[in-house]
Amino acid sequence: MITDNKTFNFKDTNGNDIQVDCETYEYSRGWGHRATLVYAGGKWYNFSKRKTYYNRTYERFKYESVLYSLFESFYNRKADKDNLDYIIAQLKDIADNESREAEKWFKAFESRYNALSDNTKEHIKNADIILTDKEQAESILKLSEAFDLLLK
């Protein structure tokens, strides 16, 4: 079952467009990411790589690992080294940008959390809430801010 997808666009050293479609899939014993090189340098492809996970993945952005795997497999000849290096630099730029955005979001979240009353923070702590993604964290924080407003 496919649960998410995203298209990435890159350029090669000649300025040609490269399109990669990524998707997240789930099955009974795990989940994974699949990346398919669709278009590169004026040619259409159906070149795929996938990574299967049994727990979580530690990436700076979704699909990072499978994209590296895809490009390292596709541009695997010596003659392709310049293109591979150029695309890897683009992947690193995406990762660096995602890291900056995550740090910015975390600092804003931390500031909002610190502004909560001690009573609300204690309720959150005692609720033994486990947050697994940014959306859950935002929801809990918004609810907590509303709770604080009601108690003022």
Rg value, the chain, Cα: 21
Return phi, psi of residue 58, to 5°: -110, 90
Nearest CA among 7, 6, 9 for reference residue 93: 9
How much is the pTM? Answer: 0.81
Q: How long, in residues, is the chain?
A: 152
Task: State the pLDDT at residue 145.
Answer: 92
| Regions in the chain scoring below 70 on pLDDT | none
Domain ranges of the chain: 2-105, 115-151
pLDDT tens profile 98-135? 999 999 999 999 999 999 999 999 888 898 888 878 89
Task: Retrieve residue 97's tokens.
Answer: 């940008």
Q: Is 139 left (phi over 0), alpha (psi -120 to 50) or beta?
A: alpha
Contact 22, 67 (CB under 8 A): yes
Task: State the pLDDT at residue 123.
Answer: 87
Task: State the pLDDT at residue 124.
Answer: 87
**Which amino acid does the sequence have at 58?**
Y
The H or E element containing residue 26 is strand 17-27
Task: State the pLDDT at residue 5.
Answer: 96
Distance, in Å, from the CA atom of 121 to the CA atom of 93, rounded to the nearest integer, reads: 37
Task: Retrieve residue 104's tokens.
Answer: 């910015």
